[in-house]
Amino acid sequence: MNRTLITTNDGSHSIRIDAMDETYHSIHGALQEAKHVFLKEGFYQSEDAVAILEIGFGTGLNAFLTMLEAHKCARQVEYVAVEKYPVAEEMLRVLNYGTLLHEAEWFDELHVINWEMRVPLSDYFALTKLQKDIADIDFEPRFHVIYFDAFAPDKQPEMWTPDVFEKMYKALLPGGILVTYCAKGQVKRDLKAAGFIVESVPGPPGKREMIRARKD
Ligand SMILES: C[S@@+](CC[C@H](N)C(=O)[O-])C[C@H]1O[C@@H](n2cnc3c(N)ncnc32)[C@H](O)[C@@H]1O
């Protein structure tokens, strides 16, 4: 699949897949979207140590931001990221997240570590990258937060099925939350059917709403 580097409106990069007519992030700003959807509405919903599951590691932007924030507020983070189609090294090397956030070495580290093993990257942040199809994994209930960052439902509907949401529900601890940039009515209904309490919260610039769903 042909992946092209693009620059979004806040100056941060993203990737476009021409064949799918889809981008990895909002064209209004990859960095500001990630900060809003996953950090503000996900990571910062509590102040404790946290286990995070990310669906769709992609460029590693969400993991990178989370690692930086974990240090800023001295919070222990256990981060598990699932990715079926890792981004090629040549593409990762040109992404500007490390330089924009003045932590280029840390960004590179996320990508050089091996897949399928837990790697403590610092005193606060341990990362496990799984190169797998989400359809082939079942999780124990051990996560506080899920960053659900799949391609849009109309581009990759198999990621947004009731089966996947039931899997996500099982992966969460009681009180745990799933956040996604998506705000579609059908997604809300399917999350409710899987057992979630679903909330619409304000979205990042360019998007009125997003979803935060909680396991009771
Ligand atoms: C919207 S992009 C993710 C963006 C990513 N969080 C980032 O910040 O770069 C969706 C990601 O889901 C991955 N993906 C697609 N199908 C998948 C599957 N069946 N299982 C796991 N990951 C999948 C894609 O390869 C892509 O990296």
User: Does any domain span residue 153?
Assistant: yes
Q: What is the pLDDT of residues 108-153, one digit of tens each?
A: 999 999 999 999 999 999 999 999 999 999 999 999 999 999 999 9
In this prediction the pTM is: 0.98
Name the residue range of residue 169's domain. 29-214
Choosing from 82, 84, 96 the residue with most ligand 1 atoms within 8 A of its CB, the one to mutate for a pocket test is 84
Query: Which residue in the block uniquely carries the two structure tokens 């598990």?
Result: 80
CATH number, domain with residue 170:
3.40.50.150
Q: How far apart are CA 61 and CA 92, in angstroms?
A: 10
Residue 6 CA to ligand 1 center (angstroms) comes to 17
Give the total number of structural domains in the chain: 1
Q: Is the CB of 134 under 6 A from ligand 1?
A: yes
Q: How far apart are CA 100 and CA 157, in angstroms?
A: 33
Residue 26 CA to ligand 1 center (angstroms) comes to 14
Q: What is the pLDDT of residues 169-180, one digit of tens each?
A: 999 999 999 999
